[in-house]
Amino acid sequence: AAGGGEGGNNNMQFSYGTAGFRTKGDLLASTVFRCGALAAVRSHVTGRATGMVITASHNPEPDNGVKLVDSNGGMLPLAWEHHAEALANADGPEAMRAVLEALLAGGDSNEGGGEGHHHASATSTSSPSSHGA
């Protein structure tokens, strides 16, 4: 599903699932940017690396996806999936800022380790539009 803030598609909502966010590649740039911001904030808050993967996975050719990966290579914890949805569906810069500032203020100090973030991507025809984000 597409999400708020995607170039006027405010009536569409993103839902984060096992495969992260998936939609038409040309609608994903804002969400890729937002996931990058969330990965950076999560790395800062937890003190551990958070990965971000741009992938076409098993989607049809024009589709693409973006997902966040825990420092151990596993799925993003459920609580952070909800944060990802809130950020992806935030209506504009001020709402995005509010989500990120709340995460920075609240923290998630139960997690620790080495700080950093990582990025990987697929080579589908819709991937280049997502890389620009």
Which has the higher per-residue pLDDT, 99 or 19?
99
Residues with a known catalytic role: 57
What is the predicted pLDDT for the residue at 132?
Answer: 55
Contacts of 26 (CB under 8 A, 6+ apart): 62, 126, 129
If you average pLDDT over every residue of the chain, what do you get? 79
Please check the confidence at residue 113 and state whether its pLDDT lies above 80. Answer: no
Query: What span, in angstroms and rounded, lies between the C-alpha atoms of 120 and 1?
Result: 22
pLDDT tens figures, 38-73: 999 999 999 999 999 988 767 677 888 999 999 999
Dump pLDDT digits (tens) for 72-90. 999 999 999 999 999 999 9
Q: Is the pLDDT of residue 117 over 70?
A: no
- Per-residue pLDDT at 8 exceeds 80: no
Considering just the CA atoms, what is the radius of gyration of the chain in Å? 14
